[in-house]
Structure 1
Amino acid sequence: MAERVGIVLFGLLTLAACAPAPAPPVPAGAAAPTVSGPLPLPARAKVSPVRLTIPAIGLDQAGLVPLALGAAGELQAPVRFSDVGWYEGGPVPGDPGPAVLAAHVDSRSGPAPFFRLRDLRSGDEVRVARSDGADVVFRVDSVQRYPKNEFPTQAVYGPAPGSALRLITCGGSFDTAKRSYRDNVVVYASQRWD
């Protein structure tokens, strides 16, 4: 579904937190691997994304917050509606695999960071600055909308060639009884090499 996705205007509804998108299953009873031979090298400082810039929708957001999984294995949404979060259990944007960033679409007080995410088009540029000084550039491949009960967990979190980025927010119509949007909007992007 590459066509423009619709979202009900925030002013018409009483809004609540966007229900989080499902995250990859955590293996039950997974044990830490045993290490034999030389001692491992000291861990390097953890790298994290620190700024997200999407010129096509006028987004320039600093101070990305870490996101974790909830008790049911779902990705937790940012606590504050003004934040963009990064799933710290996955790759850092620019490293191999799909990095996941999530934010709210809106709140009672107006648009949130990913309000215009649905307006992105194939080829639009997405930049992620990292704490190690790297500035990683991605190109949008597609924008899709899925009912929350049909969220494509494998396509979002599963293996991807090279460095990939997934941007997730809520979309579609608003369910006033559940105080949540019925769908998720997912932007798929891949690293651009100039």
Structure 2
Amino acid sequence: MHQQRKSFALTAASVAAGVLTICCSVSLWSAPAPQQGITAAAEAAPQRETVGPASPPVLPEANPTRKPTGAPPPPAPVLPPPGKIPVRPARAAAEPPPVPPVSLDIPNTGISVNVVDVGVDKNDAMEIPNSFWEAGWYRYGPAPGSKAGNAVIAAHVDSQTEVLPFAQLRAVEPGTVITVGLADGRSLRYEVTEVKNVPKATLNGSEVFRRDGPAQLKIITCGGKWLPEKGDYEDNVVLTALPL
């Protein structure tokens, strides 16, 4: 990637596919509707009228006392104490926010750079930091240390005047251990499993920016032939690493 380009050369559809995934709605748990009053059904039931011989008149007592009439009321339901009632949260517990990466080190390559979080530029491509000595982490996707999906870090391969450290990415051997530093002071280690050139015309953005499946680290730069008519490189160099 030369100096005049400040975005990673992925297709717009590739990055857009990653961005759209953020808009998934979160299903809320909904409690069952409260029960209707049981007494309403009882009141609606027809009452049977009793017919019999007339009874003699009853004279009022000197000191009348109120007597219960009709059937005794049903016993009150037995409820557990308030502390024993299970309460289900109104929505699923949110995952803690990701801790962004701040550094990347690949031994024996000269790749030891700061990492900043980046988004999408006006051309719907993944942004790349203005500083050629920094790499960008795609903040709309998984972060290093996430339980699933690909954490994507990308950087320029060169400028108009010099070759940059990421020019050595293609030479990284499988089995190399990469260290990613996080903003909270932790360091994560990844083992390289594959490094390959992928033509930009056939790069599968949905796979690169996926948010599910096994947790992986993807490190990407430009590679292959320089195409003067396009002002871009023909390929992307894609490194894949698994957490240790």
The normalised TM-score by structure 1 is: 0.78
Q: Is the CA contact 1:103–1:112 (under 8 Å) kept in the aligned structure 2? A: no
Determine the C-alpha separation between the residues in 2 that align with 1:108 and 1:71.
23
Q: Deviation per CA, 1:143-171, whole angstroms, max 9, x where unpaired?
A: 1111111112233222332x310000000
Determine the C-alpha separation between the residues in 1 that align with 2:213 and 2:126.
19
Q: Is the CA contact 1:16–1:179 (under 8 Å) kept in the aligned structure 2? A: no
Q: Deviation per CA, 1:93-131, whole angstroms, max 9, x where unpaired?
A: 121221000000000121224111011111011110111
The alignment partner of 1:117 has SS state of: helix
Amino-acid identity (%): 30
Q: 105, 128, 142: which one pairs with 1:77?
A: 128
Determine the C-alpha separation between the residues in 2 that align with 1:92 and 1:188.
14
Number of equivalences? 178
Q: Is the CA contact 1:15–1:180 (under 8 Å) kept in the aligned structure 2? A: no
Please identify, of 42-51 and 74-83, the stretch whose mean Cα deviation from structure 2 is larger: 42-51
Listed as ranges, the gaps of 5+ residues in structure 2 are: 30-88
When you count strand as a share of all residues, which structure comes out higher?
Answer: 1
Cα distance change on mapping 1:147 and 1:16 into 2, 3 Å: farther
Determine the C-alpha separation between the residues in 2 that align with 1:28 and 1:104.
26
Determine the C-alpha separation between the residues in 1 that align with 2:230 and 2:92.
49
Cα distance change on mapping 1:66 and 1:113 into 2, 3 Å: farther
TM-superposed CA distance for 1:186, in Å, is 0.3
Matched, 1:141 2:193: yes
- Mark the structure with the bigger radius of gyration: 2
Listed as ranges, the gaps of 5+ residues in structure 1 are: 1-9
RMSD of aligned residue pairs (Cα, Å): 2.8
Please identify, of 165-174 and 92-101, the stretch whose mean Cα deviation from structure 2 is larger: 92-101
Amino acid of the structure 2 residue aligned with 1:84 = A
The normalised TM-score by structure 2 is: 0.63
Q: 196, 213, 226: which one pairs with 1:160?
A: 213
Determine the C-alpha separation between the residues in 2 that align with 1:106 and 1:33.
42
Q: Is the CA contact 1:52–1:128 (under 8 Å) kept in the aligned structure 2? A: yes
Q: Is the CA contact 1:174–1:181 (under 8 Å) kept in the aligned structure 2? A: yes
The alignment partner of 1:27 has SS state of: helix
Q: 24, 27, 36: which one pairs with 2:20?
A: 27
Matched, 1:101 2:153: yes
Determine the C-alpha separation between the residues in 2 that align with 1:132 and 1:29.
24
- The structure, 1 or 2, with the larger RCO (C-alpha pairs under 8 Å, 6+ apart) is 1
When you count helix as a share of all residues, which structure comes out higher?
Answer: 2
Determine the C-alpha separation between the residues in 1 that align with 2:97 and 2:233.
38
Cα distance change on mapping 1:101 and 1:178 into 2, 3 Å: same
TM-superposed CA distance for 1:54, in Å, is 0.5
